[in-house]
């Protein structure tokens, strides 16, 4: 058993691989991990990935973006995390472009399972829809043994996965998306 010490926050994903248990989510009030306090932006939230060994001993914590949604592991000691970020957030390799003013842009980040080191980070801007909502439903990520990732979710606004803009769904509804990403 392990506790994440924060006044406000939650976990949205968990994965186990080898001797690591990994958790992702978001916190709104200060989060303390291994006697170090991490703060969210005033009035906002911060995504996190926390790693523990199977006995519950804390190993490492990474914070970035706005909200962690899901994570998956691969056989190459990788951890792929999907979440949301605001324009200009630093996902570990410098500021990432997103739709200005929105916090629902999607990110895909690959970390090292053993020490939490960043391997790569990608941002996928989501423009506000016609009703002003840049909304993505719950997103899920899965990884192959070799580290390729699949991303599944639903959206109401236009998005760009790097291959061209997917236009806003017609009629103000939602549209599913499924994308594949190689390491």
pLDDT tens digits, 123-132: 888 876 555 5
Task: Provide the whole-model pTM.
Answer: 0.85
- Angstrom distance (rounded) from CA 85 to CA 76: 26
CATH 3.40.1800.10 for domain 5-134, yes or no, is no
Q: Which two tokens stand for residue 162?
A: 């790097």
Q: How far apart are CA 25 and CA 50, in angstroms?
A: 9
* pLDDT of 109: 92
Task: Supply the pLDDT for residue 183.
Answer: 67
CA distance 62 to 99: 24
The CA angle 101-66-61, to the nearest 5 degrees, is 155
* pLDDT at 78 > cutoff 80: yes
pLDDT for the residue numbered 119: 94
Show the DSSP H helices in the chain as ranges: none
Q: How many CB atoms lie within 10 A of CB 162?
A: 9
Give exposure, 69-89, as e/b (b: 16+ Cβ within 10 Å). bbbbbbeebbbbbbbbbbbeb
Going 161 to 166 to 151 to 23, the CA torsion angle's sign is: positive
Identify the pLDDT of residue 45. Answer: 85
Judge whether residue 148 has pLDDT over 70: yes
pLDDT one-digit tens code per residue, 8-58: 888 889 999 888 899 999 988 888 888 888 888 787 888 899 999 988 889
Run of H or E residues at 63: strand 58-64
Radius of gyration over every alpha carbon of the chain, rounded to an integer in angstroms: 16
For 160-176, give the DSSP string: E-SSSEEPPPGGG--EE
HSE-up of residue 139 (Cα within 13 Å, Cβ side):
30
pLDDT-derived band at 72 (thresholds 50, 70, 90) equals very high
1-10, 28-37, 144-153: the lowest-pLDDT one:
1-10
- Chain-wide mean pLDDT for the chain? 84
Say what the pLDDT of residue 18 is: 86
| 2 — pLDDT class (breaks 50, 70, 90) | low
pLDDT exceeds 90 at position 60? yes
pLDDT of residue 131: 54
Q: How far apart are CA 87 and CA 126, in angstroms?
A: 10
């Amino acid at each position: 058993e392990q506790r994440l010490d924060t006044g406000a926050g939650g976990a949205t994903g968990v994965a186990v691989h080898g001797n690591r248990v990994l958790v992702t989510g978001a916190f709104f009030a200060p989060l303390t991990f291994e006697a170090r306090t991490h703060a969210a932006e005033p009035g906002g939230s911060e995504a996190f990935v926390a790693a523990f060994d199977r006995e519950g001993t804390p190993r490492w914590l990474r914070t970035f973006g706005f909200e962690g949604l899901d994570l998956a592991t691969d056989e190459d000691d990788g951890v792929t995390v999907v979440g949301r970020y605001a324009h200009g957030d630093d996902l570990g390799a410098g500021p990432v472009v997103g739709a200005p003013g929105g916090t629902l842009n999607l990110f895909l980040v690959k970390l090292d399972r053993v020490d939490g080191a960043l391997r790569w980070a990608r941002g996928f801007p989501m423009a506000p829809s016609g009703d002003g909502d840049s909304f993505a439903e719950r997103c899920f990520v899965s990884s192959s043994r070799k580290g390729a990732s699949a991303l599944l979710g639903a959206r109401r606004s236009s998005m760009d996965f790097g291959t061209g803009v997917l236009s806003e769904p017609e009629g103000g509804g939602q549209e599913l998306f499924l994308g594949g990403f190689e390491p």
